[in-house]
Amino acid sequence: MKLISTNGGTPAITFREALFESMSADGGLYTPERLDPLSRAERSSLRGGDFPAVAGRLARHLLGTEFDADTLEEIVTTALDFPIPLTELSDGVHLLELFHGPTLAFKDVGARFMARTMRACHRADERLTILVATSGDTGSAVADAFLGLENTRIVVLFPDGQVSELQERQFTTLGDNVRALAVQGTFDDCQKLAKTAFADNELRRCLPLTSANSINIGRLLPQIFYYFGAWAQLPRSDSDLLFCIPSGNFGNLTAGLMAKRLGLPVSRFVAATNINDVVPEYLESGRYRPRPSERTISNAMDVGDPSNLARIVHLYGGDLDALRRDVAATSVTDAETRRCIREVHDATGRILDPHTAVGYIGLRRELSGRSEPADAILIATAHPAKFREVVGPAIGNEVPLPSRLGAHLEKERQVTPIGPAYEELCSVLLDDR
């Protein structure tokens, strides 16, 4: 696989190079130069396979020239050693439960795969700083995936007071090689700080620096695996299939659209956002208007300038009509989200986190406008206990707390506050070398 910049200003590079560079020197994001579809026989062989087997075959298809077979097998089996069940929520509607990993969020898939590919490529005697901006679950997934790795430092930028208590404690109580920086601003400020650092050639000359956000192709590519993994579990392979994806920075949707290019038989994607609706607005009007994000109860999707839209536009060659044929987008209010959590719990006994609830509303809207039946898969992104302060009142009961989350409540937070000025971030990065 060769990677090129979405801005088109740099030569194609290898996956290993893109893994450590994170962003192109021209300010673009790395994206595959081409995506070769699976053959019909290769795709058929995935049916009925368990998730590690499906992921392994796709990893060999995408990265088989970058890693030998034994290395790839070890990466996949050690990174993806937790269940990802497909469960039925109602007739024709399935939940892909991506919250059974170590930090109970879908980010575990990409973060753990990325960490192990980096370990396979990175010399242990070379100091590396991994800088990540988080609006919720990315910080904990990345911190857990790289925790204790020799000569590796993880610096997590998060908007102070704008992630749930449990989300924050998952990465602020680890210590060791994890440094948490509470930015006095929004997630967009955090993301801007990270992007500025990656574009700062002077900083990167004296400080080996890479990203573990979905701006890094190494975090995004493994998310392709679970789309095929979900399809492989469906009772029928020939049904009209649609996916609904709670969306913030749009890495998950990007991976799904790449899966479609690789041959995933999906007819439609639904991207459901909260009131931070710059992408639904773009699909409707053709105008992209990034703006400061607004706080909601689905905080991990509070993004006003989603990075991965650049990859999506590049994938479609700027053809907005083609993108509209594949993707419907909708936005959801907090009141609608709370009501959905309550209604689903009352009707099924299932507890949805706020982000998955946003997705379920988007899915119902799409299905209500269809005359033909379809198999629908809703991406369930996080364990509801991570948002117990929202979910509990919505269902009128306490949300059971998994022991691995409760353990973080007993530990002391280790946080450094900084302002949204780039100079403050540089000072921390350089002082800690």
pLDDT digits (tens, 9 = 90+) for 265-324: 999 999 999 999 999 999 999 999 999 999 999 988 999 999 999 999 999 999 999 999
Quick one: angle between helices 137-146 and 107-121, nearest 10? Answer: 30
> Between β-strands 178-183 and 415-418, what pairing exists: parallel, antiparallel or unpaired?
parallel
Q: How many residues appear in the chain?
A: 433
Specify the pLDDT at position 102.
93
Q: For residue 281, how many other CB atoms are within 10 A of its CB?
A: 16
Nearest residue to 142 (alpha-carbon basis) of 126, 158, 165: 158
Q: Per-domain residue ranges for the chain?
A: 83-101+219-399
What was the pLDDT predicted at 370? 81
Indicate if the alpha-carbon torsion angle 13, 426, 194, 67 is positive or negative: positive
pLDDT at position 125 is 66
For 131, the 3-state DSSP assignment is: strand
pLDDT at position 387 is 92
- The DSSP bridge pattern shows strands 375-380 and 128-133 to be unpaired
Residue-by-residue pLDDT tens, the chain, 433 positions: 899 999 998 999 999 999 988 889 898 999 999 999 999 999 999 999 899 999 999 999 999 889 999 999 999 999 999 999 999 998 789 999 999 999 999 999 999 999 999 988 876 667 889 999 987 788 899 999 989 888 889 999 999 988 888 889 999 999 899 999 999 999 889 989 998 998 888 898 888 888 888 889 999 999 999 999 999 999 876 778 999 999 999 999 999 999 999 999 999 999 999 999 999 999 999 999 999 999 999 988 999 999 999 999 999 999 999 999 999 999 999 999 999 999 999 999 999 999 999 999 999 999 997 877 778 999 999 999 999 999 999 999 999 999 888 888 889 999 999 999 999 999 999 886 6
Q: Where are the alpha helices (DSSP H) in 209-308?
A: 217-220, 223-233, 251-261, 278-285
Give residue 124's pLDDT.
62
Q: What is the pLDDT of residue 189?
A: 93
Q: Strands 178-183, 128-133: parallel, antiparallel or unpaired by DSSP?
A: unpaired
pTM given for the model? 0.92
Class of domain 83-101+219-399 (CATH, top level): alpha beta
